[in-house]
Amino acid sequence: MAIDTQAVKEHIRGLLIALGDNPDREGLKDTPERVARMYQEVFEGMQYTNEEIAKMFDKTFVDELDFETDSRDMVIVRDIRIFSYCEHHMALMYDMTVTVAYIPNGKVIGLSKIARIADMVSKRLQLQERIGSDIAQIMQIVTGSEDIAVRIQGSHSCMTARGIRQPDAKTITTTVRGRFLSEPSLLNQL
């Protein structure tokens, strides 16, 4: 579903009025248009299901390495930078780093596609926990591997800039599937 930029502009204008400001003053007169354009960018992922994102980034290579069935060989991509917006307050989740690990099952994904998957999933109104689950699901679809782990660390402005105001608070979530769940020692490499 496409983002209705006209409705966004109208609602942002109404929000400015509700906040007690004048949307026609010099500094605000173009704000509804700017916010609508920004929302198209930062919420792009809302237009796609996990299955559609998997199709977008389904660039894999037949694995020429001879992985055995019980192999512990894995691919790990660390320090993927993302940001998102909390679905509870529409507040920014920032300074987020994602680590994605998987054990190949006959094919490997292009490494940049892992970062692109994480980026697209974050472009939704989200929960940090769901970002990890969505990345894991998409990785399973694309790689054909059940063995996926996703670790995310981030700050949430709904905790750092308002409410409890704990600027150093970090949230860490770990999503594990397949052998990462049944063999917790594999997680030591994350």
Residues with a catalytic annotation lie at: 86-89, 128, 156, 158
Instruction: Let me know: does 116 contact 159? Beta carbons within 8 Å.
Output: no
Look at residue 17 and give its three-state secondary structure: helix
Q: What is the DSSP letter of 25?
A: S
Element (H, E) at 39: helix 31-42
Indicate the DSSP class of residue 43: T
The one-character DSSP state at 140 is H
The pair of three-digit structure tokens given for residue 138, joined into one six-digit string: 């998409």
Burial 170-188 (b: 16+ CB within 10 A, else e): eeebebbbbbbeeeeebee
For residue 3, with 0-12 CB atoms within 10 Å meaning exposed, 13-18 middle and 19 or more buried, which class applies? middle
Q: What are phi and psi of 62, to 5 degrees?
A: -60, 130
DSSP state of 173: E
